[in-house]
Structure 1
Amino acid sequence: MTEDHFDVVVVGGGPAGATAAEELARKGHKVALLDRAGRIKPCGGAVPPRLIHDFDIPDSQIVARIKTARMISPTGRRVDIPIENGYVGMVDREHFDEFLRDRAAKAGATRLTGTFIRIERYGMGPHVLYRDKATGETRRLMTKLVIGADGARSDVARAEVPGGDTIPYVIAYHEIIEAPAAFADYDPDRCDVIYDGAISPDFYGWVFPHGAQASVGMGTGQDGVDLKQATADLRVASGLADCKTIRREGAPIPLKPLDKWDNGQDVLLAGDAAGVVAPSSGEGIYYAMIGGQVAAQAAASCLATGRARDLARARKVFLKEHGQVFRVLGAMQNAYYRSDDRRERFVSLCHDIDVQRLTFEAYMNKKLVKARPLAHLKIGVKNVAHLTGLVAATRV
């Protein structure tokens, strides 16, 4: 059995793991990035301008620029929300994730392709065992720290971090199709979000353009839902049934950050493994990359000081910046996703210009907007009115 020595082994090469590996490598640490080849996470692919700017994403990775978001209610009502002063970028995870992994390698990280087996401890630190994809050989990596960025059903989290085996999640499924020419129900510059219990009883469906391709899918946390049939129904309803299917993908998406992201010793979680996907929207790429960044910073601090408690800084820093957004979005999901009547009212609320502006300002900048308190007050009053049934859902 071969053995190599590293400061940090990052398990999982998605946006969180690749970002963590790149950051640590740029700090001069010896880093291994272990990833399973061939897996592409089902994802709408939306990234806000702040991610593009903060993480220096080149134009070549942006396959579409979305200028409008369309909300579609259970009764088929459509609310188009223009994206003012910018756009939402779309990436293709097949190429975007590989770009991030390659960038980490260029920064100095050692890329390894294989399947994580377990962590063993003896001697001076943890040993990561994995099965090499090319040879089938079991290999051992000696390291000081491990960052688990291996998804919502993280093997690292389940084995090493308290509560890591109980994370709540929805199952997402999508089909990548050849995009048609623009027509009444499909606009290459518009994302459609479908709030309809016939497609998803507790989440939503989507049609997201990816340039020459498009992602069509849905998510649910309920057992017994036929995800493939729901997606087929969505394609029919969207006029996309005859488009060529390129690939099909499914995976869990976490709904709540874990209470602990580290084991108090030598393991730290990042991205989906830590549960950092935004409630209500399911947005995960930006938060995964921020999660990878703060995990790298906490790991670097731990390596410098020798204090295992420094690993807990990752969660503290992340939630200080984004915890309020997660709480608000979680409350929104709990309030509006429970029934078609609630979903109808939610789409009706989206007619409001204050809701539209504040929603997208918060999305683009990744923080709750506090500049217009009167608008927040108006939204709060309307929100209560819709939830209590004091007003009827607007029919358009």
Structure 2
Amino acid sequence: MEFDAVVIGGGPCGATTAMDLARNGWTVALLDKAGRIKPCGGAIPPRCVRDFDIPDAQLVAKIDTARMISPKGAHVDIPIENGYVGMVDREHFDEFLRVRAAEAGATRLTGTYLKVEREGGDTFVSYRPKEAGAEPVRLKTRLVIGADGARSNVAKQEIPDGGDITYVIAYHEIIKAPANHDEAPKYNAGRCDVVYNGAISPDFYGWVFPHGENASVGMGTGIKGFDLKVATAQLRADSGLTHCETIRTEGAPIPLKPMKRWDNGKDVLVAGDAAGVVAPSSGEGIYYAMCCGRRAAEAGHMALAKNNGRYLRLARRRFMREHGMVFRVLGRMQDTWYRSDDRRERFVTLCNDIDVQRLTFEAYMHKQLVFAKPIAHLRIFAKNCLHLARLIPAS
């Protein structure tokens, strides 16, 4: 089989890339493993719904409050003004995106990527179909786009320093949500709980995110040897959710820093988690993966149309122009506030500030830093300095 482009990985990034390329008239193969569900809280902001035409039926819940919980159990409830945070279940959401890509004209293939091969100036993607005992298949292509996750085999094989990526390991349990308040008084089906506690995660955070009839309970950490399942069991106990039925469990690496290079300058480009595109501090990935997929499709379209692999560099350039500042700010925030329980306690205290709440959620909802309120920024900067100097109490 022969295609203009082969997209490896059918998550939000890969499916978006395949859909956009197919809509531009290119022949596209979308290669994906069947049955793999990424651990994910499932939150998407209204901008994601708007920019990528996500139907309301895909939202299993709409969240109107975020609760930040400190190591000592203090909490701050932050109302989400003028909107909501939508929640999706990746089991169904990712498949919806793959189906939409196929409807746009992409050819879906199921199997395991093996390698990129080159012969006589031609490029081939080798993969093993899912069927038991199947022999490897080769696809002739002009362009390979790797959207195959944080430890991307495409990146390792084809991109300089592609195996060097910073990540945390995320683990979560999808559970049956409590039927009523009496069954689990701490659980609220309209609220996301974010837990900053070194016992749950020594360098990231834990979460309890409603998914309609279900809920996602999990955490992430980059500390080797830390027992994720024990920490998640503790999180469920602290949240009064130990008794809830466990439907499935999932774990995977989550990158926290974009790679410095995403392409080989010829015929290979990586995107999404494979390029390190997950927001530091928050761990938000779905929206940024889909944005990255769109930029990858634009760069791929240019490279194919001009028959010049140098256009592949546009994917990273355009993405970082749009989101690089947000990633840098969130990275500094994580480095500053997640390093100890004392810092986490102070961070939750800061979240009680109305200026912090408004600017944070305006930035989250609209996906850009808000600079229109300089006085508020000065007040936040001053409070940060006072907390870091331990000149004001943490609660």
TM-score range, shorter-chain basis?
over 0.9
CA distance in 2, matches of 1:263, 1:301: 15
Deviation at 1:306, TM superposition (A): 1.7
> Alignment partner for residue 17 of structure 1, among 10, 14, 31?
14
Q: Note if contact 1:10-1:17 (Cα within 8 Å) is conserved in structure 2.
A: yes
* Residues 350-373 of structure 1, C-alpha deviations (whole Å, 9 max, x = no match): 000000000000000000011111
CA distance in 2, matches of 1:387, 1:265: 47
DSSP-derived class of the 1:273 partner: helix
Counterparts in 2 of 1:381 and 1:76: CA distance versus 1, 3 Å = same
DSSP-derived class of the 2:29 partner: strand
Q: What's the TM-score once normalised by structure 2's chain length?
A: 0.98
Correspondences of 1:89-168 after superposition (within 5 Å): 89-134=86-131, 136-168=134-166
1:232 counterpart = 2:233 = yes
Amino acid at match of 1:213: N
CA distance in 1, matches of 2:69, 2:152: 34
Deviation at 1:124, TM superposition (A): 3.5
Deviation at 1:390, TM superposition (A): 1.8
Deviation at 1:182, TM superposition (A): 4.1
* Residues 89-143 of structure 1, C-alpha deviations (whole Å, 9 max, x = no match): 0000000000000000000000000000001011343100000002522100000
Q: Note if contact 1:349-1:355 (Cα within 8 Å) is conserved in structure 2.
A: yes
Correspondences of 1:1-396 after superposition (within 5 Å): 4-134=1-131, 136-183=134-181, 184-394=185-395
CA distance in 1, matches of 2:234, 2:328: 32
Q: Note if contact 1:182-1:188 (Cα within 8 Å) is conserved in structure 2.
A: no
Amino acid at match of 2:380: I
CA distance in 2, matches of 1:181, 1:74: 28
Q: Note if contact 1:186-1:238 (Cα within 8 Å) is conserved in structure 2.
A: yes
Amino acid at match of 1:39: R
* Residues 212-241 of structure 1, C-alpha deviations (whole Å, 9 max, x = no match): 000000000001111001000100000000
CA distance in 2, matches of 1:181, 1:370: 43
- Unaligned ranges ≥5, structure 1: none
DSSP-derived class of the 1:276 partner: coil
CA distance in 2, matches of 1:387, 1:288: 33
Identify which range, 384-393 or 340-349, moves more after superposition: 384-393
DSSP-derived class of the 2:162 partner: coil
Amino acid at match of 2:22: A
CA distance in 1, matches of 2:246, 2:121: 50
* Residues 137-176 of structure 1, C-alpha deviations (whole Å, 9 max, x = no match): 2100000000000000000000011121010100000000
Identity %: 69
Q: Note if contact 1:208-1:214 (Cα within 8 Å) is conserved in structure 2.
A: yes
CA distance in 2, matches of 1:315, 1:26: 21
CA distance in 2, matches of 1:226, 1:309: 44
Q: Note if contact 1:177-1:244 (Cα within 8 Å) is conserved in structure 2.
A: yes
CA distance in 2, matches of 1:25, 1:124: 24
DSSP-derived class of the 1:268 partner: strand
Amino acid at match of 1:18: A
Deviation at 1:389, TM superposition (A): 1.2
* Residues 222-281 of structure 1, C-alpha deviations (whole Å, 9 max, x = no match): 011110010001000000000000000000000100000001111001100000000000
CA distance in 1, matches of 2:165, 2:211: 30
DSSP-derived class of the 1:180 partner: coil
DSSP-derived class of the 1:127 partner: strand
DSSP-derived class of the 2:329 partner: helix
Amino acid at match of 1:226: D
**Number of aligned pairs?**
391
Q: What's the TM-score once normalised by structure 1's chain length?
A: 0.98
CA distance in 1, matches of 2:123, 2:58: 36
DSSP-derived class of the 1:177 partner: strand
CA distance in 1, matches of 2:253, 2:187: 27
Identify which range, 130-139 or 266-275, moves more after superposition: 130-139
Amino acid at match of 1:52: V
Deviation at 1:34, TM superposition (A): 0.1
* Residues 52-104 of structure 1, C-alpha deviations (whole Å, 9 max, x = no match): 00000001100000000000000000100000000000000000000000000
- Unaligned ranges ≥5, structure 2: none
Q: Note if contact 1:200-1:219 (Cα within 8 Å) is conserved in structure 2.
A: yes
Amino acid at match of 1:164: G
**RMSD over aligned Cα, in angstroms?**
0.7
DSSP-derived class of the 1:277 partner: coil
CA distance in 1, matches of 2:211, 2:242: 17
Amino acid at match of 1:169: Y
CA distance in 2, matches of 1:198, 1:367: 32
Identify which range, 299-308 or 72-81, moves more after superposition: 299-308
Amino acid at match of 1:265: K
Identify which range, 237-246 or 177-186, moves more after superposition: 177-186
* Residues 12-47 of structure 1, C-alpha deviations (whole Å, 9 max, x = no match): 000000000000000000000000000000000000
Q: Note if contact 1:271-1:288 (Cα within 8 Å) is conserved in structure 2.
A: yes
